[in-house]
Amino acid sequence: MAEVRVEALTKTYGAAKALDDVTLAFPDGGFFGLLGPSGSGKTTLLRAIAGFVTPDRGRVLIGGQPVENVAVEDREIGMVFQSYALFPNMTVAENVAFGLEVRRVPQPDRARRVAEALDLVQLGALAARKPHQLSGGQRQRVAMARAIVTRPRVLLLDEPLSALDKALRVEMQVELKRIQREVGITTIFVTHDQEEALVLSDHIGILKDGRLIRHGPPRQVYNDPQDAFTARFLGEANLLSGTPEGQGLRLADGTLIPGLTRPILALRPEHLTLSATTPETPLRLRARLRQKIFAGAMGTCLLDWQGQTIKATGRDADFAALDEGQEVWIGWAPDRMIALAGD
Ligand code: ADP
Ligand code: MG
């Protein structure tokens, strides 16, 4: 196991800056979720750590040692990609054993380690099957077993679950977390699915246009996103812009929100309460309830306010007394206000 660090990492392809001065530490034994929209540089960052991409500037350190002169196969890294790229004519066990053969691990050590890795991903019973006889989730597990059987110091996972359907993906998320805890390998997990990153990671980082714009524990980044991009990208947020005035923020409808000095107020849909009667708090807005959306136990309300849509989510029962078309009050608690800098 080892900490991974990247320092001032920069990579340009023609006019595109795939990585723009990225400095970041991936904690030893931790599960780091790397998030960002398509094209933000996530894969390039993983490939630079693995050694497939040579950075224009900056460096990669694994376990405190710079690795620019260490070849890909000597970096002790396990990788899993979106397309698992299993060898189709080899059995599950042979696929997993391949990396050990390349490293000339002798029998019976090799067989024992393959069996251990397959047990870990709960595929021991399917060792003799070929990849085409497996489900998508099972193939994903083979890819995981293959990545960890060589006992790498670092595990790089590039959107490994994105080819699976939703139900299977959620199941594999739980599985992935269990496996990572059991083996304790420093793991960097790339996803464009923010919920997946929040579920799995003990640290997250957000890339945008090759730049690292935010990182930290998921709860901290979610609760205090700092900038509008992060607030929108990580969960949902209603963004209300205003004009700072004294110690408050003057919103478009004239409401003065005390205690805010940054130009954007972000409110999570789940932090809003709706009522027909006037709340006592000054933290309130008058809006028209445009649409109630029923989705089982939870519901969503869309409200019109100053030409923008505000979204509120809650238990369906909370919205039972409100009718579409009605004027309602939106309220929230002071500690739910997120103040953001402008773009
Ligand atoms: P992500 O994984 O976040 O979707 P990538 O790291 O794949 O993003 O790509 C980041 C940017 O670098 C994109 O603009 C992409 O088109 C560009 N890029 C990545 N790899 C190459 C390459 N081998 N040649 C040219 N451009 C590339
Ligand atoms: Mg990618």
Give the residue, by CA position, lying nearest to ligand 1 atom 6. Answer: 41
Give CA–CA dist 336/257, Å, rounded. 13
Tell me which of 6, 9, 11, 13 to substitute to probe ligand 1's pocket, judged by most ligand atoms within 8 Å of the beta carbon: 13
Pocket test for ligand 1, best of 40, 44, 53, 233 (most atoms within 8 A of CB): 44
Of the listed ranges 4-13, 81-90, 269-278, 321-330, the one predicted with least confidence? 81-90
**Confidence band, pLDDT 50/70/90 cuts, at residue 11:** very high
Atom of ligand 1 nearest to the CA of 38: 4
Residue 211 pLDDT: 97
The verdict on the CB of residue 43 being under 6 Å from ligand 1 is yes
Strands 284-295 and 298-305, sheet pairing = antiparallel
Q: Which atom of ligand 1 is nearest to the CA of 47?
A: 6
Whole-angstrom distance, CA of residue 71 vs CA of residue 52: 9
Highest mean pLDDT among 35-49, 71-85, 221-235: 35-49
pLDDT in the model for residue 39? 94
pLDDT digits (tens, 9 = 90+) for 164-183: 888 888 888 888 888 899 88
pLDDT at position 342 over 80: no
Q: Do domains 4-229 and 236-340 have the same CATH topology?
A: no
- Domain segments of the chain as ranges: 4-229, 236-340
- Asked whether 191 lines ligand 1 (CB < 6 A), one says no
- Find out whether the beta carbon of 214 lies less than 6 Å from any atom of ligand 1: no
Q: Read off the pTM.
A: 0.87
The answer on pLDDT for 119 being more than 70 is yes
Tell me which of 2.40.50.100, 1.10.3470.10, 3.90.1300.10, 3.30.450.40 is the CATH number of domain 236-340: 2.40.50.100
- Written out in words, the top-level CATH class of the domain with range 4-229 is alpha beta
205 lines ligand 1 (CB under 6 A): no
Residue where the block lists tokens 């030893």: 28
Judging by DSSP bridges, how do beta strands 256-258 and 248-251 pair with one another? antiparallel
CB-based contacts of 26, cutoff 8 Å, min separation 6: 3, 4, 5, 32, 154, 186, 188, 203
Residue 280's pLDDT band, with cuts at 50, 70 and 90, is confident
Q: Is 84's pLDDT higher than 80?
A: no
Mean per-residue pLDDT over the chain, rounded = 93
Confidence band, pLDDT 50/70/90 cuts, at residue 343:
low
Q: Rounded to the nearest whole angstrom, what is the distance from the C-alpha of residue 179 to the centroid of ligand 1?
A: 29
Ligand closest in space to the Cα of 82? 2
Structure tokens at 7: 């320092």
Alpha-carbon distance of 170 to 164, in angstroms, equals: 9
With cut-offs at 50, 70 and 90, classify the pLDDT of residue 193.
confident
Residue 146 pLDDT more than 70? yes
**pLDDT above 70 for 1:** no
| 38 close to ligand 1 (CB < 6 Angstrom) | yes
Atom nearest to 41 CA in ligand 1: 6
Residue 18: nearest ligand to its CA?
A: 1
Mean pLDDT of 2-30: 96
How many Cβ atoms sit within 10 Å of the Cβ of residue 329? Answer: 16
